[in-house]
């Protein structure tokens, strides 16, 4: 169940009220006349099944409420209402599977911004990956994978293509490119210092590493894993009850690849630079492609479910 709160200017209040009162999926509606000071107008609070949030938000956006007021969606974890239960029963699909596009898009905009926090995590994760490669520590590689913040910007690329949001696409792509460029450059400088001061010599950096050599040995499995991880990650981001992101983080080798690129540049190990670069490109492109296809499929499935539900309701009315 979602609680939809609308702060509407007075000139749009009648239209907002008409939309909310005509929607059979609204199980409760509270209208606070004159309660909104900015914008000057009314506040509407409605309870609606998660599965039916998208049509309602689209209707409110169509009259321009979001330009002059505010539409906010808040999850209701616990509720007791017969009307609400009936609305959930009428809604197509299951609440846990529903994709609320406004919610997903807002998260993508927020988490794909290029911030100092994002860059800091990228640098720390890449540095940890470089140490893991030198010490051939699989555990440290996993730690670097989990620490990396790059998945949401990658998923945002697919979301931007599905929802036709060029601004989001450019923001996510910029965040990815600059984040990887800064982290690889800084870790390369640190590795060069280690090389000059002999903290880590060439033989140690280029020695066989059975636990981590997969990082620069890209193959078709790298792409397959990226596709699976990308699809699983997007499902975790869009579902109301998803907990698969940790599995995604420790399945792909984006951060380890960037750490190995930095080491290879510092020590002149060019075959590892090339192999890790291919690995990085395969992982990012695979996850972005899988995210796009998964979101596109989800959008089509929910559109079809809605159409079937409407057709069944029309048939029931015709029989009566």
User: How many structural domains does the chain have?
Assistant: 2
Other beta carbons less than 10 A from residue 278's beta carbon: 16
Name the least confident of 125-139, 163-177, 238-252: 238-252
Q: How is the beta sheet containing 2-9 ordered, strand by strand?
A: 28-36, 41-48, 2-9, 70-75
Give the model's confidence band at 306: pLDDT under 50 very low, under 70 low, under 90 confident, else very high. Answer: low
Domain assignment present for residue 99? The answer is: no
Please determine, for residue 316, whether its predicted confidence score (pLDDT) is greater than 60: no
Are 127 and 265 found together in one domain? yes
Q: What is the DSSP letter of 239?
A: S
> Which carries the bigger pLDDT value, residue 71 or residue 55?
71
What is the average pLDDT value for the chain, to the nearest integer? 85
Contact 258, 184 (CB under 8 A): yes
pLDDT score, position 262: 94
pLDDT at 92: 64
Q: What angle do CA 267, 220, 131 make, to 5 degrees?
A: 30
Residue 266: domain span: 104-303
258 within domain boundaries: yes
What digits encode the pLDDT tens for the residues 275-296?
A: 999 999 999 999 999 989 988 8
User: The tokens of 283 are what?
Assistant: 């992982």
Which of 5-9, 23-27, 137-141, 209-213: highest mean pLDDT?
5-9
* Average pLDDT of span 196-225: 81
- What is the pLDDT, as a whole number, of residue 247? 61
Task: Tell me if 47 is assigned to some domain.
Answer: yes
CA distances from residue 23 to 111, 201, 311 in whole angstroms, order as listed? 32, 69, 16
Average pLDDT over residues 200-220: 79
DSSP characters over 200-234 = S-HHHHHS--TTTGGGG---HHHHHHHHHHHHHHH
Residue 98 lies in a domain: no
Within this chain, do residues 137 and 240 fall inside the same structural domain, yes or no?
Answer: yes
Model-wide pTM > 0.85: no
Together in a domain, 211 and 275? yes
Domain CATH number, residue 54 = 3.30.70.120
pLDDT band of residue 231 (cuts 50, 70, 90) is confident
Is the predicted pLDDT of residue 95 greater than 70, yes or no? no
The answer to the question of residue 309 being in a domain is no
Question: Does one domain contain both 148 and 21?
Answer: no
Residue range 110-134, pLDDT digits in tens = 989 999 999 999 999 999 999 999 8
């Amino acid at each position: 169940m979602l609680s939809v709160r609308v702060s509407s200017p007075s000139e749009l209040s009648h239209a907002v009220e008409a939309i909310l009162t005509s929607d059979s999926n609204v199980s409760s509606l509270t209208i606070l006349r004159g309660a909104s000071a900015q914008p000057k107008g009314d506040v509407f609070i409605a309870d609606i099944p998660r599965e039916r949030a998208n049509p309602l938000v689209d209707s409110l956006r169509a009259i321009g409420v979001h330009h002059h007021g505010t539409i906010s969606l808040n999850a209701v974890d616990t509720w007791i209402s017969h009307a609400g239960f009936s609305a959930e029963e009428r809604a197509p699909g299951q609440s846990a599977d529903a994709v609320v596009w406004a919610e997903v898009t807002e998260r993508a905009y927020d988490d794909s911004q290029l911030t100092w926090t994002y860059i800091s995590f990228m640098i720390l994760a890449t540095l940890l990956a470089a140490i893991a490669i030198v010490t051939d520590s699989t555990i440290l590689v996993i730690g670097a994978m989990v620490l990396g913040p790059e998945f949401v910007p990658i998923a945002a690329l697919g979301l931007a293509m599905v929802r036709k949001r060029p601004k989001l696409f450019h923001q996510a792509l910029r965040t990815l490119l600059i984040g990887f460029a800064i982290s690889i450059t800084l870790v390369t400088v640190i590795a060069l210092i280690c090389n000059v001061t002999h903290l880590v010599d060439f033989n140690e950096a280029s020695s066989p590493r059975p636990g981590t050599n997969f990082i620069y040995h890209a193959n078709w499995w790298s792409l397959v894993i990226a596709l699976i991880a990308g699809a699983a990650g997007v499902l975790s981001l869009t579902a109301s009850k998803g907990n698969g992101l940790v599995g995604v983080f420790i399945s792909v080798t984006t951060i380890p690849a960037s750490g190995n690129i930095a080491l290879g540049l510092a020590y002149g190990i060019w075959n590892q630079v090339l192999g890790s670069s291919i690995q990085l490109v395969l992982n990012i492109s695979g996850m972005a492609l899988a995210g796009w296809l998964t979101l596109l499929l989800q959008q089509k499935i929910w559109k079809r479910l809605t159409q079937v539900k409407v057709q069944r309701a029309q048939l029931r009315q015709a029989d009566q």
